[in-house]
């Protein structure tokens, strides 16, 4: 797996661990990451392109970084790796960092990074995600290989589609044929009708208490770390969320409209409590299976999100996994009905910084970095 040759241990051995700086690209979930890092006593560094982005942070003094690295292009980060290491920086990755740098650059960026960046190779492909999650005991929406087998509503996802833009829903084969762009690579999934919940979990391999994940495969019989539920959100998606107000799918087509799934924001959610054991079972399975993936020496570390739909039979379908902090965790910057029970007001950003602080104290930084 790419990236496994990175000399993280060497970089970290040159670090002054009493002077760690938490670095983050100023976007996505950076406010809570910066704020949380400061609460745990770290110096912070923001990376951005252009002064305008920096100005916004002055509106949030609790998160405004101690230091800025202002670039002309995010890809310049590749040339600033040594500069960042000289400042004892640990980077906290999020979706925007990976998108701005490109997955390949991200995997070879020569700066210690929180979590396991090699898991990206599994996260980045729908087929591999399926292998991973199903081996962890999660049920995913059925995939329809041959469009002629479409026998109910389906969602068609183009390979290059980002943030749900460009997906479409088809009722049957004729509908699919009329709307599909055969030039593009796509996957056809059964459209799962139900309620969406996006679980923001945190897996910490260091503690030996709490909800311990049972290992599988090569780790069978071992307790491999603590799983926590930080928060749950639901994404606001334009225009599908409001579509029903205009009538049926057929009425909408007559108006020349197609539903789109573009994320515009997030709303906090809580799950019917009797479904929580199943949510934990899925989270546990995803973590345990991540340790067994080909080449994934470390497995999942830190925040991750299972994107699910619960049907009216109270069955979960997991349609996607994100192996790092998701922007949906921003609904819980001041805590959530779940994280508050364990520690009032803790955000996922602060939880990341806490994990780093504890790892420094236990001299186990290498267990949580890549």
Residue 176 beta carbon to ligand AMP: minimum distance, rounded to whole angstroms: 14
Beta carbon nearer to ligand AMP, 327 or 356: 327
CA distance 70 to 91: 15
Among 69, 155, 321, 359, binds ligand AMP (CB under 6 A): 155
The yes or no reply on residue 237 touching ligand AMP (CB under 6 A) is: yes
Stretch touching ligand AMP by CB under 6 A, among 88-96, 190-198, 219-227, 347-355: 190-198
Neighbours of 21 (CB within 10 A): 19
The yes or no reply on residue 196 touching ligand AMP (CB under 6 A) is: yes
C-alpha separations of 73 from 10, 77, 94, 181 in Å: 28, 8, 17, 33
The yes or no reply on residue 64 touching ligand AMP (CB under 6 A) is: no
CA distance 118 to 132: 14
The yes or no reply on residue 299 touching ligand AMP (CB under 6 A) is: no
Residue 316 beta carbon to ligand AMP: minimum distance, rounded to whole angstroms: 12
Beta carbon nearer to ligand AMP, 74 or 319: 319
The yes or no reply on residue 234 touching ligand AMP (CB under 6 A) is: no
Beta carbon nearer to ligand AMP, 38 or 94: 94
Q: Which residue has the tokens 């924001």?
A: 265
Residue 250: cis peptide before it, omega within 30 degrees of 0? no
The yes or no reply on residue 189 touching ligand AMP (CB under 6 A) is: yes
The yes or no reply on residue 261 touching ligand AMP (CB under 6 A) is: yes
Among 65, 93, 141, 285, binds ligand AMP (CB under 6 A): 141
Among 74, 319, 330, 349, binds ligand AMP (CB under 6 A): 319
The yes or no reply on residue 97 touching ligand AMP (CB under 6 A) is: no
Stretch touching ligand AMP by CB under 6 A, among 3-11, 20-28, 187-195, 344-352: 187-195
Q: Which two tokens stand for residue 137?
A: 């005991």
The yes or no reply on residue 158 touching ligand AMP (CB under 6 A) is: no
Beta carbon nearer to ligand AMP, 80 or 261: 261
CA distance 367 to 296: 13
Residue 332 beta carbon to ligand AMP: minimum distance, rounded to whole angstroms: 18
The yes or no reply on residue 129 touching ligand AMP (CB under 6 A) is: no
Dihedrals phi, psi of 73, to nearest 5 degrees: -155, 140
Among 192, 227, 305, 326, binds ligand AMP (CB under 6 A): 192
The yes or no reply on residue 173 touching ligand AMP (CB under 6 A) is: no
The yes or no reply on residue 191 touching ligand AMP (CB under 6 A) is: yes
Residue 32 beta carbon to ligand AMP: minimum distance, rounded to whole angstroms: 21
C-alpha separations of 143 from 155, 164, 283 in Å: 10, 17, 22
CA distance 259 to 231: 28
By CB under 6 A, name the binding residues for ligand AMP. 141, 155, 164, 167, 189, 191-192, 196, 235, 237, 261, 307, 309, 319-320
């Amino acid at each position: 797996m790419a990236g496994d040759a990175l000399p993280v241990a060497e970089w970290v051995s040159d670090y002054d661990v009493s002077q760690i700086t938490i670095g983050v690209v100023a976007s996505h979930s950076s406010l809570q990451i910066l704020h949380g890092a400061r609460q745990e006593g770290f110096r912070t560094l923001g990376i951005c392109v252009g002064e305008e982005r920096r100005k916004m942070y002055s509106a949030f003094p609790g998160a405004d970084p101690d230091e800025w690295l202002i670039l002309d292009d995010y890809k310049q980060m590749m040339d600033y790796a040594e500069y960042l290491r000289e400042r004892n920086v640990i980077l906290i990755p999020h979706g925007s960092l990976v998108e701005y740098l490109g997955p390949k650059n991200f995997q070879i960026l020569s700066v210690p990074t929180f979590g396991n960046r090699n898991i990206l190779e599994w996260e980045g492909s729908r087929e591999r995600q399926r292998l991973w999650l199903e081996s962890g005991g999660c049920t995913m929406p059925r995939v329809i290989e041959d469009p002629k087998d479409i026998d109910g509503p389906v969602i068609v996802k183009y390979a290059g589609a980002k943030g749900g833009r460009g997906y479409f829903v088809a009722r049957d084969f004729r509908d699919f044929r009329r709307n599909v762009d055969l030039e593009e690579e796509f996957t056809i999934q059964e459209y799962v009708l139900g309620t969406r919940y996006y679980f923001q979990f945190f897996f910490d391999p260091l503690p030996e208490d709490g909800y311990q994940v049972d290992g599988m495969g090569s780790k069978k019989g071992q307790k491999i770390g603590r799983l926590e539920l930080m928060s749950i959100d639901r994404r606001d998606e334009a225009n599908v969320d409001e579509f029903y107000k205009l009538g049926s799918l057929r009425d909408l087509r007559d108006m020349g409209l197609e539903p789109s799934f573009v994320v515009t924001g997030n709303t906090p959610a809580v799950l019917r409590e009797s479904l929580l054991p199943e949510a934990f079972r899925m989270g546990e399975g995803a973590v345990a299976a991540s340790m067994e993936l080909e080449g994934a020496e470390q497995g999942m570390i830190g925040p991750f999100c299972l994107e699910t739909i619960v049907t009216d039979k109270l069955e979960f379908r997991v349609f996607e996994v994100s192996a790092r902090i998701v922007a949906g965790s921003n609904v819980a910057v001041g805590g959530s009905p779940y994280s508050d029970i364990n520690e009032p007001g803790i955000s996922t950003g602060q939880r990341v910084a806490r994990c780093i602080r504890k790892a420094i104290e236990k001299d186990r930084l290498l267990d949580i970095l890549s």
